[in-house]
Amino acid sequence: MNLPWHLYVMASLYILAGINHFRVPHIYIKIIPTYFPNPKLLNKISGLTEIIFGVLLCIPMFSGYAALGIIMVLVAVFPANLFMYSNMDASLGIPKWILLLRLPLQIVLIIWAYKYTFFIH
């Protein structure tokens, strides 16, 4: 079974995003809401999770499960997007209107991942 090229695009995005958690951790740590404990550990877990699910997306036997995992990650990191929007220090200097547009982007990313789950095939 050959996987569609756009699945590899999505996998690459998550792998690169996951690697970025380790390259520039301070950016991700800054956007983790203050009510979550141990932001450094959460950053490492989310980065590693993105890398693992990105790789698994490229393996036909695991791609459906990895897509579900991506959906769970997107839901889990949504509080960080809200925190960025509502907290000026966490906004990283990104204009508020872009942060607002970013919120529904999570839904688009979830729908994109859902297309690769075993529910569709």
Q: Per-residue confidence at 40, pLDDT binned at 50, 70, 90?
A: very high
pLDDT at position 59: 94
Tell me the three state secondary structure of residue 59.
Answer: coil
pLDDT at position 1: 55
Domain around 96: 5-114
Per-residue pLDDT tens over the stretch 52-109: 999 999 999 999 999 999 999 999 999 999 999 999 999 999 999 999 999 999 999 9
Residue 120 lies in a domain: no
Return the DSSP state at 118.
T
Calculate the CA dihedral of residues 54, 16, 13, 120 and round it to 10 degrees.
10
Residue 119 lies in a domain: no
Residue 16 lies in a domain: yes
Residue 63 lies in a domain: yes
Number of domains in the chain: 1
Residue 121 lies in a domain: no
- Average pLDDT score, the chain: 94
Rounded CA gap, 22 and 10, in Å? 19
